[in-house]
Structure formats: structure tokens, C-alpha cells
Amino acid sequence: MCGAGAVLLSSLGSNSDLLKQDTKNLVEAKYYEKLPHRKIKCVLCPRECVIDDLETGYCGVRENYGGTYYTLVHSRPCSAHVDPIEKKPLFHFLPGTTAFSIATVGCNVLCKFCQNWEISQARPDQINNYDMPPEKIASYAKNNGCKSIAYTYTEPVIFYEYMYDCAVAGHRKNVKSVMISNGYIQAQPMRDLCKVLDAVKVDLKAYTKEFYKKLVAGRLQPVLDTLVLLKEEKMWTEIVYLVIPTMNDNPQELKRMCKWIVSELGPDVPIHFSRFYPVYRLKNLPPTPTKTLEMAYNIAQDAGIHYAYIGNVPGHDGESTFCPNCKKVVIRRIGYQIVENHVSQKGICFNCGSKIAGVW
């Protein structure tokens, strides 16, 4: 059949042979339910995708093969770097240390302002990936002097199984694990994950349902639920709020959010107000003016939040940590660098002896 002009045909194996080939090196996903007619329902994130045979979920990295759900990215990170922990940003978790930072492709939301959209919105076959099993990640982290492994850049919820296994492997080598997440995950998988994590940073992208619907393709409530769950689990948590001009910089919205944080999470949860830069599908907006970030910073302080920060404005005083008791600078930062540190290894302010919240 394969002569010139004929459409090229290949011989075919049996269905079970093809299925075996497709799933040969794949790891079965956690948190899904089998449905009739080879469908499955994913219950890892609040989206709860119902997925037909040979289709992927919204995340693009979990695929149904014959009624069994697989992760396509276990041990296949597309990015691996050694970063300062401050870059995550986590300012109250082993400050001044480095994190071995990894990501796979994929994400379970679709932020129109995503800074890493080339990898977060891609699928595994579209990007070059490394072959890095969990033990290798733990070894790389240890050998590079990293105190932690960070699951970051894209959305680690979608590579849950890999993250979990890396965290277990890391702990065997005394390397901690931090998750840099949008918090868009269901309660049970998050609770299970808390057993192997040491800190979580959550992007709270706005405090309105409308923003989440229009600009994130997600919902606000599950993120708030995750934050409350992390508090219940006593997980060290910091929040990042990317301030986007005209989209989520309304002072009343910020006041409501800060009030909620103080009442539901407590005043010791740090919040980082980060500067937005026009990117991806929001190129029509300007970068966030510094005065807008300062406004948000002041609102947080007025609401009683102990540790408010301004991000992506190197050299700004808002990058530094102030003791909530004596009001003195206890950690002075410029960008990701720590230039002064007046906190003891037990988290005590050298000036007044007060406890500074965090993991030290």
C-alpha cells in the first residue's frame, strides 16, 4: 500500500498492545474515580474534570488510557534551578538558604497574566523534559547545598504524585519541601500532602469571584478553603497577591481580604504584594505603580497583619521584615539578597526578644 501516491499505512498491533506501549513508563494518578464507558472523574482539584478515554484533563498532564488515569509528568521536570528561597517568595522559611526548584509543564488554571505561560500552558510533548526521578532530585538538592526542594514555576498540584514522591525522598536526606501553589486543590489531597511538606506559598490572586472567573478561569472559594486548611494543619504559609492595575487593586477589596486573613488565618501569615508586569494576555495594562503597592501594604498593616511585603520593587523598604513588637528591621533585603539579619536561629528578634513567626 505504501507506493508513491498511496497514503502511508502502518501495521497495527492489538488494542491491548497499544495501551501497554502508551502507558509503559507512566505512573497512575491519585485521586480519581472510575466511571462507566472508560470515563474517569479527577478529584484532585476543584475543577473535577470528567475525562473520556484518550483525553487529558484541563491541566493537560493527566491522561485517561482505557479507563485508568495516568500522570504524564512524573519524573519529567521541564525546569530545574537552584534559587534563593526568597525568590519563591518565602521570607519566613529558612531565610538566606537555597531551594532546588523544579517544575513540570501544565497548570490547572488559565491566568491571563501568567509569567510562565510558555511552560504552564504547554503539554508534556511540547517541551523538552529532563529525566529526574525523585531520588535524583533529592540528591541534586543535597549536593547543591539546598535546604529545601521547591515545587514552583508552574502549578505543582498538577504534578502531585511527583511532588509527593520528591518530598518523601528529600526528607530521607534531610531536605525539606515547599510548595509554591495557587491553592487550587481539593481538601483530601492537600491534607495528605501536608504530611510531607514543610511550607506552602499560596497565590491569592484576588478577593472577588469575578476576577477568578474572568482572569483565572477558576473559583475563589476553593483557594480560601485551602488557606484555612493549611492553618488547621499548622503548615507554615505565606500569601502572594499580585496587584494588577484596575483589576484587583480596589482598596475596599484589599481591606476585605486583609480582614479575612486576620480573622481566619491570624496576623502572622505574611502577605507579599507583588508588582505586575504586562505579559501574556494582559499586555495592555501598565506595570503596577509603586504607590499602589504601598497603598496595599498600608491597608494590610492597618488591618493588623504583622508581616506585609512589597515584591518586585528591588530596594524598597517593603522588602524587609520588621519586628511587630519593637518595629525595628530584623531582616533587611534588597531583591532576593539578605543584607542584614537580626533574628536568632530560634526566630527571636535580637532587639526586643520577641518571637518572629516562621521556620528558622
Instruction: Write out the residues near other proteins by the rule CB under 8 A.
Output: 1-10, 12, 15, 18, 22, 37-39, 50, 52-60, 110, 112, 121-123, 125-126, 217, 280-281
Residue with smaller CB distance to other proteins, 36 or 315: 36
Q: How far is the CB of 163 from other proteins (least distance, A)?
A: 20
Residue with smaller CB distance to other proteins, 118 or 264: 118
Residue with smaller CB distance to other proteins, 15 or 174: 15
Rounded to 5 degrees, what angle do the CA atoms 93, 212, 233 make?
Answer: 35
Query: How far is the C-alpha of 177 from the C-alpha of 179, rounded, in Å?
Result: 7
Across the strands, what pairs with 237?
200
Q: How far is the CB of 297 from other proteins (least distance, A)?
A: 32
Of 181, 235, 185, residue with least CA distance to 203:
181
With H, G, I as helix, E, B as strand and everything else as coil, classify residue 217.
coil
Q: How far is the CB of 62 from other proteins (least distance, A)?
A: 10
Query: How far is the C-alpha of 330 from the C-alpha of 286, rounded, in Å?
Result: 33
Other beta carbons within 10 angstroms of residue 221's beta carbon come to 11
Are the C-beta atoms of residues 179 and 197 closer than 8 Å to each other?
A: yes
With H, G, I as helix, E, B as strand and everything else as coil, classify residue 290.
helix
Q: How far is the CB of 204 from other proteins (least distance, A)?
A: 22
Residue with smaller CB distance to other proteins, 91 or 113: 113
Residue with smaller CB distance to other proteins, 37 or 346: 37
Query: How far is the C-alpha of 74 from the C-alpha of 11, rounded, in Å?
Result: 30
- What does DSSP assign to residue 12? -
Q: How far is the CB of 46 from other proteins (least distance, A)?
A: 13
| C-alpha cell of residue 121 | 500552558
Q: How far is the CB of 286 from other proteins (least distance, A)?
A: 19
Residue with smaller CB distance to other proteins, 61 or 179: 61
